[in-house]
Amino acid sequence: MLKLHFAPNSRAVRILWLLEELGLPYELNRMDFHPKDLKSDEHRARHPLGRVPVLEDGDISIFESGAIVEYVLARHKDGGLKPAVDSPMFPEYLQWFHYCEGMVMPPMNTIVVHTLLLPPERRDETVLGQAQRLLARALAPVEEALAGREYLIGDFSAVDIMLGHSVYMSNRIGCVSDELTNIKGYVERIDQRPAFQKADSA
């Protein structure tokens, strides 16, 4: 059985969401998002930097949320969530799948650090402002891509689990303006999915 090492409000939510969407059986090791759990010797043996998610599948252990999504779809797929290689949507699927960590998450990570993680005396308003502007620019093409679509490539797919989760969290921390009506609607649709609700509340 698959075993997911998980902490709430992290990229591990993506993997729990994926497993729920696919209806795959799994065991959940829920940890606190705190050094006492994540930086423990036990967890560092799974991930050298003490991060989540980590997925164990028998003798296999794999980390990095994007890699785990691709692994699960390749080895345990139970209902699609990815266009065929010869589909006209496949290149766009790949683009948005990797846009997530390449363009959206770097400024979002900086925003979280300078609004939540650092003590107030160490936060830098200049760095925060730069990150907020970068994130706004990164979200603009997503807003455009969602015009006339319920999900990023039309039908719900694993790209919505990757980039959709990042967009959802961007909205949660107040970085999606009301002008981005396509993204606002997209976030609402994600929020209504039972598999997402279960993963987000774990």
Domain ranges of the chain: 2-76, 90-193
Contact 127, 114 (CB under 8 A): yes
Tokens linked to 86: 């010869």
Q: Which amino acid is at 33?
A: F
Domain 90-193, CATH 3.40.50.1100 — does that match? no
Q: Write down the CATH number for the domain with range 2-76.
A: 3.40.30.10
| pLDDT at res. 173 | 94
Helix 158-172, helix 65-76: angle, nearest 10: 150
How far apart are the C-alpha atoms of 8 and 25, rounded to whole Å?
19
How far apart are the C-alpha atoms of 102 and 97, rounded to whole Å?
9
Q: Is the pTM of this model over 0.75?
A: yes
| pLDDT at res. 157 | 98
| pLDDT at res. 34 | 87
Q: Decide: helix, strand or coil at residue 52.
A: coil
Each residue's pLDDT, cut to its tens digit, for the chain (202 residues) gives: 999 999 999 999 999 999 999 999 999 999 998 888 999 999 999 999 999 999 999 999 999 999 999 999 999 986 689 999 999 999 999 999 999 999 999 999 999 999 999 999 999 999 999 999 999 999 999 999 999 999 999 999 999 999 999 999 999 999 999 999 999 999 999 999 999 999 999 9
| pLDDT at res. 78 | 67
How far apart are the C-alpha atoms of 128 and 135, rounded to whole Å?
11
| pLDDT at res. 80 | 83
Chain centre to alpha carbon of residue 170? 11
Contact 26, 4 (CB under 8 A): yes
